Amino acid sequence: MKGAVSINLASEPFRRDRPFVVAAVAASAALGGLLLYQLSIGLIERGERGGLNDQILSASAQLNKVQAEHAQLQRGLRDPRNQEAVDYALFLNGLLMRKAISWTRIFSDLEQVMPGEVRLISVRPQVNTDNQIQLDMWVGSETQEPVVNMIMKLEGSPLFGATAVPSWLPPTQSENLYRYRVTVNYGSKL
């Protein structure tokens, strides 16, 4: 047989599609598995979300109840019949706050940062809204350098905070000192 010719009697030519079909079936199975996984995660999260919503509703109800009680108590405090008792309580709380300030400790801590050339003329502690003590002081010195050194020591000390010098007075005939008004946050808590 000299030149054999292959003849295909089929109406369509033969193709090798089996690897593509197998890959398509495998991909379909993988995507189907992912779909089932996503559906199960969605159902689990839906159940958890329902529990969270119940907890949020419960917390909101408790918050509303507490706010209603607070509003009722505020109305009672604002009642003119109770105003005298409220004022007296505020007065006593203020006295207790001032009593809680230790003068011995203030002077001891100031002694650590005050140079010998600086004289403490007056000191007035005040309690701010954050229950922190702020010292309002007048200090004096024959020259300005010791006061500057004292301010630097105040700012560098862990016991004291922000320092400001709102005003100062030069020496006069009756007072031979440079006088500085110094305000400083005192680190001691009440």
Which conformational region is residue 127 in: left (phi greater than 0), alpha (psi within -120 to 50 degrees), or beta? beta
User: Which H or E element spans position 188?
Assistant: strand 178-189
> What token pair was written down for 107?
């002077």
Higher pLDDT, 71 or 3: 71
The pTM (predicted TM-score) of the whole model is 0.50
150-163: burial string, b at 16+ Cβ within 10 Å, e else: bbeebeebebbeeb
Taking the domains of the chain in order of start, what are their residue ranges? 17-78, 101-189
> What token pair was written down for 27?
């991909």
- Tokens 């292959």 correspond to 6
pLDDT tens, position by position, 46-71: 888 878 888 888 999 999 999 999 99
Q: 1 pLDDT band (50/70/90 cuts)?
A: low
Higher pLDDT, 82 or 174: 174
In three-state secondary structure terms, 27 is helix
Q: What is the pLDDT of residue 100?
A: 67
pLDDT at 190 over 60: no
Mean pLDDT (whole number) for 15-36: 91
Q: What is the pLDDT of residue 80?
A: 81
pLDDT tens, position by position, 129-170: 777 788 899 999 998 899 999 989 888 888 888 888 998 888
Q: What is the pLDDT of residue 93?
A: 74
Q: For residue 67, how far is the Cα from the chain centroid?
A: 23
pLDDT tens, position by position, 111-135: 888 988 999 999 988 877 777 788 8
> What CATH number was assigned to the domain covering residues 101-189?
3.30.70.2830
In three-state secondary structure terms, 53 is helix
Return d(Cα 24, Cα 117) in angstroms, integer: 93
pLDDT at 78 over 70: yes
Nearest CA among 184, 170, 166, 168 for reference residue 124: 184
Q: What is the pLDDT of residue 10?
A: 65
